[in-house]
C-alpha cells in the first residue's frame, strides 16, 4: 500500500504536540522551531497532495474498520470539496505561529502548552476536513474544541473566560443536536439496510418521514450554523474573535468557521438534498441578513478586531448564499471563497494583531494618518482590503463573482442582496482604511511606530502572494475543484453513487457514469483574467 | 424439618473467601504487626490488602465465564458477575493505592481503615453475583455498613461525623424499604430467587408484586443516588476522606448497578411498560437535577457528587431501553466512569496538602502551570465526563444513546443531550480554575502513588476513546450472560 498520506497529515501534528511536550521547558526557541518544523513538513505534504489531486474523484482514500460492531470506519478521502481547505489548514498554522512568534511572550510550560495546543488543533482540523465517516467527522469536529478552548481561555484577552465558555457551550449544544440527528439517521439506515454504517455516502440514501427529516435537517443547520456562524446563531462570535490571541483569531475565523460551512457542503446538503433545495430560500435569507447586517455593524465599529469579526461574519453569509444557490457557479464560488476568506481574514487579523503589538490598542480613533509612518504595513493592508472587497485581479473577485452569478441564477433578490452586501463591505473597509492610514498623523505616539519586521513580513507575504496568484490565475485552482463541484451540483445522489462504486484503493479511478445533460451555461472559469 | 445443606462450590466463592480471611487476619493480627500508634501500621495493612485483592482478581479471572450456580441458587458466577467483581476489585485496589500518600498527611493511624475496605469489597462482589433477593440484601448490608464507618473515619471532623450519621440513617431506611419490597414479592410469588421469580411471574402480575418491585427499585435507586433518593450524596461525598469518596463514588455505584441490572433484566422485563415509564421519569429527573445543581457548586467534592448523579441519569436512559445492547453499553459506561472518577479523585488527593484536602475551585488555582502533566490528565477526565471526543466518556455516551435510540426513546436521548450540554459548563469551569493566573503555586508535591493512578487512568480514558471496540466486545459478552 502507498504511503497513507492523509493519515500522516492528520497525525503528524499530533506527534509534534507530543514531541514538544517532552522537550525541556527552558528552550523556548527550540520549542517554537520544533513546532514550526512539524507544521512545515505538513505544509509540504499538503502541497504535494494538492498537486497530485485532480478532477472529480475522491482520491487518497483510506478505509479501515474501526468500531466493527457499529460499522464505524476510519474512512478518509480528498475531493474537490475539501482539498483546498486541507491545504489552507496546513498553510495557516505556520503563518499563525510566525505571526504570534514574539507575541506569545510565554516562557517554559505555557509556551510548550501553546505549541502543543496549536499542533493538536491542526490535527483535529485536518481530520474533520478529511473524514468521510460521519462519526469520524463528528469526533474530529468535537475534538478541535478542546485545544481552541484553551487557546482562547489561557492566552486570550481580558474577558477570555467568558468568551471561551460561551463559544464552547454554543458549539457543543449545536453539535450534540447534530449527534442526535446522526444517531437517528444511523438507525434508520440500519432499519432499512440491515447493516450499521457511518459511511456518509451510504447514509445519504436513507429516506425518512417528512416531519422527521425536517428535524434532522435543521439539527445539522443549527450545528453548522453556529460554527460558521450564520445569523442569528452568531452571538458567540464577536467575543470569541476579539478575545482570542491574534493567532487564535486567525485560526478560529480562518479555519474553524470554515468547518461549519464545509459541514453544510459535505453533510447537510448531500444527506438531505431535497430539503436543502426546499429550504434554500430560508437559509439564504438568513445568510443575506448576515451579509447586510454584518457589513453594517462592521461599518460602525470603533475597534478594529470587532470590525474584522463582523466583516468576516458578513462574508461567511455570502459564502452560504453561494452554496445554497445549489448551482455549479454558486457552489464553486463558495468552495473557492472558503479558501479565499481564510487567506484574507487571516491577513486582516494578523495585521490588526501587529497594530495591537505596536500600540496596545486597536481602537480606530487611536490611529490616524499612520500610512506615512508605516509604508510597508499600510501597503500590505491595502492589498488585503482590496482583496477582501473583491477588486479584480485579487482573489476575492473571482469567487465573489461566481457566488453573485450563482445567486442571480437562483433568484434575482438574492443576487441583488449579495451584490449590495459586497458593496457595503467595500464601503466599510475603505472608510476604515481612510481613517487609520490617510491624512496627517493625528497622535504623537503614532509618529514613531515601527514598520513591519522581517518576521511579520514573512507571515504576511505568503498570504499576499496567494491573493495575487489566485486573483490572476484562478484557472489553476478552479480546474482542480471545478469537475468535482460540477458532479456534486449536477445530482447530489448521483455524486454519492459515483463515489460509492469506487474500489477504495488509493487513489481510486472512477469511471465517468454521469453524462452531461446539464445545459447550464457556465462562466469561463478564469473570469477572463487569465 | 430436614435441613439440606446446599451444594457449595468453593472455587466459585474463592475470591470472596480470600478477602474475608485476609480481613479477619488483619483484624486479629493487625495490632501485633503494627499497633495503632506506629507509623507503619496502616501501610502494612494497605499492602496486605492489595496483595489479597490481586489474588482475588486473578482467581476471579480463573473462574472463567461459564455459569456456576452455588449456595442453593443464591449466588451465580457468570460473565456478568465476573465483570462487576473485577470492577469493584479495581476500584478498591486503586482507592487503597491513592490512600497511601493520604493517610500520613491526615494522621490516619488505624489499620482498620483497610480491613473495612476489604469487607465492603466482599459485599460489593456478592452484589454482582447474587441471584436471590435475600443474598442481595445481605450483600447490600455487608457493603454498606463498613462504608458508614469509613465515611466518618475522621472522627475529629464534624462534617465527616455528620455525613456518616446521615448516610447511616438514610441507608438503614433504604435497606428497610428494600427488605419490605422483598417481603411483598415473596408474598405474591412465594419465592425470592430471581430465576424462580421470572418463571412464577408469567403473565399475571399482581399489584402486590408491582408494589414490592417498586420498593426494591427504590432501594437500588438510593444506592446509585438517583433522584429522588439522591439527597445524601453531596453531603456524604463532601464529608468523607478523599480516598473513601473515590471508593464510594465508583465501588458502591458499580455494585448497586450490578444487582439492579440483574433484577431489572430477570424480572422487570416481564412486567412491560409500567416500569419503563417510571425509570424514564427518574432518568429525566436525575439528569436534570444533577446537572443544574452542579452548576452552582464551588466545592469540588459536591460538584463531583452532583455530576455523579447526572451520570446515573445517563445510565438509566440506556436501562430504559433494556436490550442486551443497552446493558452492554451500561457496562462499558460504568467502566469508563470508574476509571475517570478514580483519576479525578486521585488528582485531588495528589493536590491535597498536609491536613487540608484540595476541595474547592480556589484550591486548584495555579496547578495548571505548576503541574502541567496533571493538568492535562485533569483535562482528559473532565472532557471525558462532559462527553467530548476523543475520550472514553464520549464513546460511553455514544453507546448509551445508541442503545436508547435503538429502543425508540429518542425523546429521552434529547433530554440527555441537553443535560450533557449543560454539564460542559461546569466541567470547563473546573478546568479553567486550574489555570487561574497570578496564583502560581509551584509547590513541590511528592505523591507518586496518586500520580501513577492519575496517569494510568488518563491513558485508559484516551485509549477507550480511540479504540473502544475490544472493550465493547467484552462488555457485550458479559451482558449476554444475563439474557
More confident residue, B481 or B284: B284
pLDDT band at B343 (very low <50, low <70, confident <90, very high): very high
CA-to-CA distance for A354 and A322, rounded, in angstroms?
A: 32
Q: Are B405 and A187 a contacting pair at CB < 8 A?
A: yes
Which chain B residue shows the shortest CA-CA distance from A185? B405
Which chain A residue shows the shortest CA-CA distance from B464? A67
Closest approach of B323 to chain A, Cα-based (Å): 15
Angle of the B392-406 helix axis to the B410-434 helix axis, nearest 10: 170
Of B386, B390, B472, the CB nearest to A139: B390
Which chain B residue shows the shortest CA-CA distance from A108? B369
Tens digits of residue pLDDT in A341-356:
999 989 988 888 888 8
More confident residue, B272 or B50: B50
Q: Which residues contact A394 (CB under 8 A, 6 or more apart)?
A: A383, A386, A387, A467, A468, A470, A471
pLDDT value at position A363? Answer: 80
pLDDT band at B32 (very low <50, low <70, confident <90, very high): low
pLDDT value at position A513? Answer: 38
Of B372, B424, B435, the CB nearest to A172: B424
Nearest to A97 by CA among A343, A457, A459: A459
pLDDT band at A491 (very low <50, low <70, confident <90, very high): low
Residue A134 has pLDDT above 70, yes or no: yes
Q: Are B388 and A154 a contacting pair at CB < 8 A?
A: no
Q: Are A176 and B420 a contacting pair at CB < 8 A?
A: yes
Q: Which of A281-295, A467-481, B113-127 has the highest mean pLDDT?
A: B113-127
Closest approach of A261 to chain B, Cα-based (Å): 21
More confident residue, A365 or B238: B238
Q: Which residues contact A151 (CB under 8 A, 6 or more apart)?
A: A114, A117, A118, A121, A244, A245, A248, A251
Mean predicted confidence (pLDDT) in B278-300? 91
Q: Are B469 and A180 a contacting pair at CB < 8 A?
A: no
Residue B38 has pLDDT above 60, yes or no: no
The mean-pLDDT minimum among B90-104, B114-128, B284-298, B325-339 falls in B90-104
Q: Are B394 and A142 a contacting pair at CB < 8 A?
A: yes
CA-to-CA distance for B430 and B448, rounded, in angstroms?
A: 23
ipTM of the complex in this document: 0.78
Tens digits of residue pLDDT in A3-43:
788 888 888 898 988 888 887 777 777 888 888 899 999 99
pLDDT band at A493 (very low <50, low <70, confident <90, very high): low
Of B372, B425, B476, the CB nearest to A109: B372
Q: Contacts of residue A14 in chain B, CB cutoff 8 Å?
A: none
CA-to-CA distance for A17 and A337, rounded, in angstroms?
A: 30
Tens digits of residue pLDDT in A59-88:
787 788 887 777 888 888 888 888 888 999
Q: Contacts of residue B428 in chain A, CB cutoff 8 Å?
A: 149, 165, 168
pLDDT band at B293 (very low <50, low <70, confident <90, very high): very high
Q: Which of A160-174, A224-238, A468-482, B207-221 has the highest mean pLDDT?
A: B207-221
Q: Are A142 and B389 a contacting pair at CB < 8 A?
A: yes
SS (H, E, C) B25-68: HHHHHHHHHCCCCCCCHHHHHHHHHHHHHHHHHHHHHHHCCCCE
Residue B306 has pLDDT above 90, yes or no: yes
Q: Contacts of residue B473 in chain A, CB cutoff 8 Å?
A: 69
More confident residue, A451 or B110: A451
Closest approach of B405 to chain A, Cα-based (Å): 7
Residue B379 has pLDDT above 50, yes or no: yes
Of B413, B421, B468, the CB nearest to A169: B421
Q: Are A176 and B469 a contacting pair at CB < 8 A?
A: no
170-199 in chain A: CB under 8 A from chain B = 172-173, 176-177, 179-180, 183-184, 186-187
pLDDT value at position A511? Answer: 36
Closest approach of B406 to chain A, Cα-based (Å): 7
Is the CB of A278 inside 8 Å of chain B's CB atoms? Answer: no
Q: Are B410 and A184 a contacting pair at CB < 8 A?
A: yes
What is the reported pTM?
A: 0.86
Q: Are A139 and B432 a contacting pair at CB < 8 A?
A: no
CA-to-CA distance for B59 and A135, rounded, in angstroms?
A: 39
Is the CB of A146 inside 8 Å of chain B's CB atoms? Answer: yes
Q: Please give the mean pLDDT across all residues of chain A.
A: 80
**Counting one residue from A and one from B, how many pairs have CB atoms under 8 Å apart?**
81
Do A266 and A219 touch, CB atoms closer than 8 A?
no
Closest approach of A31 to chain B, Cα-based (Å): 16
Q: Are B435 and A153 a contacting pair at CB < 8 A?
A: yes
Q: Contacts of residue A136 in chain B, CB cutoff 8 Å?
A: none
**C-alpha cell, B265:** 433484566
Q: Please give the mean pLDDT across all residues of chain B.
A: 86
**C-alpha cell, B374:** 496533571
**DSSP sequence for B204-230:** ---HHHHHHHHHHHHHHHHHTT-TTS-
Interface probe with B: pick from A10, A22, A69, A196, most Cβ of B within 10 Å: A69
Per-residue CA distances from A380 to A347, A434, A460 (Å): 9, 14, 8
CA-to-CA distance for A116 and A38, rounded, in angstroms?
A: 11
Of B421, B425, B476, the CB nearest to A176: B421
Of A109, A139, A173, the CB nearest to B421: A173
Q: Is A55 left (phi over 0), alpha (psi -120 to 50) or beta?
A: left
Tens digits of residue pLDDT in A437-489:
887 777 777 777 888 888 888 888 899 998 989 888 888 888 888 877 877 77
Residue A290 has pLDDT above 60, yes or no: yes
Mean predicted confidence (pLDDT) in B61-76? 83
Residue B361 has pLDDT above 90, yes or no: no
Amino acid at each position: 500500500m502507498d504511503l497513507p498520506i492523509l493519515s500522516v497529515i492528520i497525525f503528524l501534528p499530533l506527534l509534534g504536540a507530543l514531541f514538544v511536550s517532552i522537550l525541556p521547558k527552558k528552550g523556548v526557541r527550540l520549542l517554537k522551531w520544533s513546532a514550526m518544523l512539524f507544521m512545515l513538513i505538513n505544509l509540504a505534504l499538503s502541497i504535494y497532495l494538492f498537486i497530485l489531486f485532480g478532477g472529480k474523484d475522491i482520491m487518497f482514500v483510506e478505509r479501515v474498520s474501526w468500531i466493527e460492531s457499529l460499522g464505524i470506519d476510519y474512512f478518509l478521502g480528498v475531493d474537490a470539496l475539501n482539498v483546498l481547505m486541507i491545504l489552507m489548514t496546513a498553510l495557516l498554522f505556520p503563518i499563525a505561529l510566525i505571526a504570534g512568534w514574539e507575541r506569545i511572550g510565554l516562557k517554559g510550560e505555557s509556551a510548550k502548552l501553546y505549541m502543543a495546543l496549536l499542533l493538536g488543533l491542526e490535527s483535529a482540523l485536518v481530520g474533520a476536513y478529511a473524514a468521510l465517516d460521519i462519526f469520524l467527522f463528528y469526533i474530529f469536529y468535537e475534538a478541535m474544541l478542546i485545544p481552541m478552548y484553551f487557546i482562547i481561555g489561557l492566552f486570550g484577552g481580558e474577558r477570555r473566560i467568558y468568551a471561551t465558555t460561551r463559544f464552547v457551550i454554543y458549539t457543543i449544544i449545536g453539535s450534540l443536536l447534530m449527534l442526535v440527528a446522526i444517531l437517528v439517521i444511523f438507525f434508520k439506515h440500519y432499519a432499512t439496510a440491515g447493516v450499521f454504517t457511518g459511511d456518509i455516502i451510504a447514509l445519504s440514501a436513507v429516506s425518512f418521514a417528512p416531519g422527521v427529516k425536517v428535524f434532522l435537517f435543521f439539527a445539522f443547520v443549527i450545528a453548522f450554523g453556529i460554527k460558521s456562524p450564520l445569523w442569528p446563531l452568531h452571538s458567540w462570535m464577536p467575543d470569541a474573535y476579539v478575545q482570542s490571541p491574534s493567532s487564535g483569531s486567525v485560526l478560529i475565523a480562518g479555519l474553524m468557521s470554515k468547518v461549519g460551512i464545509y459541514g453544510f457542503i459535505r453533510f447537510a446538503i448531500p444527506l438531505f438534498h431535497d430539503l436543502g433545495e426546499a429550504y434554500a430560500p430560508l437559509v439564504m435569507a438568513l445568510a443575506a441578513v448576515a451579509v447586510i447586517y454584518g457589513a453594517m455593524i462592521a461599518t460602525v465599529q470603533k475597534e478594529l478586531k470587532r470590525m474584522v469579526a463582523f466583516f468576516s461574519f458578513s462574508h461567511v453569509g455570502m459564502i452560504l448564499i453561494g452554496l445554497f444557490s445549489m448551482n455549479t457557479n454558486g457552489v464553486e464560488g463558495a468552495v473557492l471563497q472558503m479558501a479565499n476568506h481564510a487567506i484574507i481574514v487571516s491577513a486582516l487579523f494578523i495585521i490588526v494583531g501587529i497594530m495591537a503589538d505596536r500600540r496596545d490598542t486597536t481602537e480606530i480613533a487611536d490611529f490616524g494618518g499612520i500610512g506615512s509612518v508605516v509604508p510597508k504595513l499600510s501597503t500590505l493592508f491595502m492589498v488585503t482590503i482590496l482583496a477582501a472587497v473583491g477588486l479584480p485581479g485579487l482573489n476575492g473577485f473571482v469567487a465573489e463573482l461566481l457566488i453573485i452569478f450563482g445567486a442571480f441564477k437562483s433568484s434575482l433578490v438574492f443576487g441583488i442582496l449579495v451584490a449590495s452586501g459586497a458593496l457595503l463591505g467595500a464601503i466599510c473597509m475603505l472608510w476604515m482604511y481612510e481613517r487609520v492610514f490617510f491624512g496627517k498623523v493625528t497622535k504623537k505616539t503614532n509618529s514613531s511606530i515601527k514598520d513591519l519586521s522581517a518576521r511579520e513580513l514573512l507571515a504576511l507575504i505568503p498570504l499576499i502572494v496567494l491573493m495575487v496568484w489566485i486573483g490572476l490565475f484562478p484557472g489553476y485552482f478552479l480546474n482542480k475543484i471545478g469537475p468535482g463541484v460540477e458532479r456534486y451540483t449536477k445530482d447530489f445522489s448521483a455524486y454519492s453513487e459515483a463515489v460509492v462504486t469506487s474500489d477504495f484503493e488509493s487513489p481510486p479511478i472512477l469511471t465517468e457514469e454521469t453524462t452531461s445533460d446539464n445545459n447550464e451555461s457556465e462562466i469561463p472559469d478564469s473570469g477572463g483574467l487569465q | 424439618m430436614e435441613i439440606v445443606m446446599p451444594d457449595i462450590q468453593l472455587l466459585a466463592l474463592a475470591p470472596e473467601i480470600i478477602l474475608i480471611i485476609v480481613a479477619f487476619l488483619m483484624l486479629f493480627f493487625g495490632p501485633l504487626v503494627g499497633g495503632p500508634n506506629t507509623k507503619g501500621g496502616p501501610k502494612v495493612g494497605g499492602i496486605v490488602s492489595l496483595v489479597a485483592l490481586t489474588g482475588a482478581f486473578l482467581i476471579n479471572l480463573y473462574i472463567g465465564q461459564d455459569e456456576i450456580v452455588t449456595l442453593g441458587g443464591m449466588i451465580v458466577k457468570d460473565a456478568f458477575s465476573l465483570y462487576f467483581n473485577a470492577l469493584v476489585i479495581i476500584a478498591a485496589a486503586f482507592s487503597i493505592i491513592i490512600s497511601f500518600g493520604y493517610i500520613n498527611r491526615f494522621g490516619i493511624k488505624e489499620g482498620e481503615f483497610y480491613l473495612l475496605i476489604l469487607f465492603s469489597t466482599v459485599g460489593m462482589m456478592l452484589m454482582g453475583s447474587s441471584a436471590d433477593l435475600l443474598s442481595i440484601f445481605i450483600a447490600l448490608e455487608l457493603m454498606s455498613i463498613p462504608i458508614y464507618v469509613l465515611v466518618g473515619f475522621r472522627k475529629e471532623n464534624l462534617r465527616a461525623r455528620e455525613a456518616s450519621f446521615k448516610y447511616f440513617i438514610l441507608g438503614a431506611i433504604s435497606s428497610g424499604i428494600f427488605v419490605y419490597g422483598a417481603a411483598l414479592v415473596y408474598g405474591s410469588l412465594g419465592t425470592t430467587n430471581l430465576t424462580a421469580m421470572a418463571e412464577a411471574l408469567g403473565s399475571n402480575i399482581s399489584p402486590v408484586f408491582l408494589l414490592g418491585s417498586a420498593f426494591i427499585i427504590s432501594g437500588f435507586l438510593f444506592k446509585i443516588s438517583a433522584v429522588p433518593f439522591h439527597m445524601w450524596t453531596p453531603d456524604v461525598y463532601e464529608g468523607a476522606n478523599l480516598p473513601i469518596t473515590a471508593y464510594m463514588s465508583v465501588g458502591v455505584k458499580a455494585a448497586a448497578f450490578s444487582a439492579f441490572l440483574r433484577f431489572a433484566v430477570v424480572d422487570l422485563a416481564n412486567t412491560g411498560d409500567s416500569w419503563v415509564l417510571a425509570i424514564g421519569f427518574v432518568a429525566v429527573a436525575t439528569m436534570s437535577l444533577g446537572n443544574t445543581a452542579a452548576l452552582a457548586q464551588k466545592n469540588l467534592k459536591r460538584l463531583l457528587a452532583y455530576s455523579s448523579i447526572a451520570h446515573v441519569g445517563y445510565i438509566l436512559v440506556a436501562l430504559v431501553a433494556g436490550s442486551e445492547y443497552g446493558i452492554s453499553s451500561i457496562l462499558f459506561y460504568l467502566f469508563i466512569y470508574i476509571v475517570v472518577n478514580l483519576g479525578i479523585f486521585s488528582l485531588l488527593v495528589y493536590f491535597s496538602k498536609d491536613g487540608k484536602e484540595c476541595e474547592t475551585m480556589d484550591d486548584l488555582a495555579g496547578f495548571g502551570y505548576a503541574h502541567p502533566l496533571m493538568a492535562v490528565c485533569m483535562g482528559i477526565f473532565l472532557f471525558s465526563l462532559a462527553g467530548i471526543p476523543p475520550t472514553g466518556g464520549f464513546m460511553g455516551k455514544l453507546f448509551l444513546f445508541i442503545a436508547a435510540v435503538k429502543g425508540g426513546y429518542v425523546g429521552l436521548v434529547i433530554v440527555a443531550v441537553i443535560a450533557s450540554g449543560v454539564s460542559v459548563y461546569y466541567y470547563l469551569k473546573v478546568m479553567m480554575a486550574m489555570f487561574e493566573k497570578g496564583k502560581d503555586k509551584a509547590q513541590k508535591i511528592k505523591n507518586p502513588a496518586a500520580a501513577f493512578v492519575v496517569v494510568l487512568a488518563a491513558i485508559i480514558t484516551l485509549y477507550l476513546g480511540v479504540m473502544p471496540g475490544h472493550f465493547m466486545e467484552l462488555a457485550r459478552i458479559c451482558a449476554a450472560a444475563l439474557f
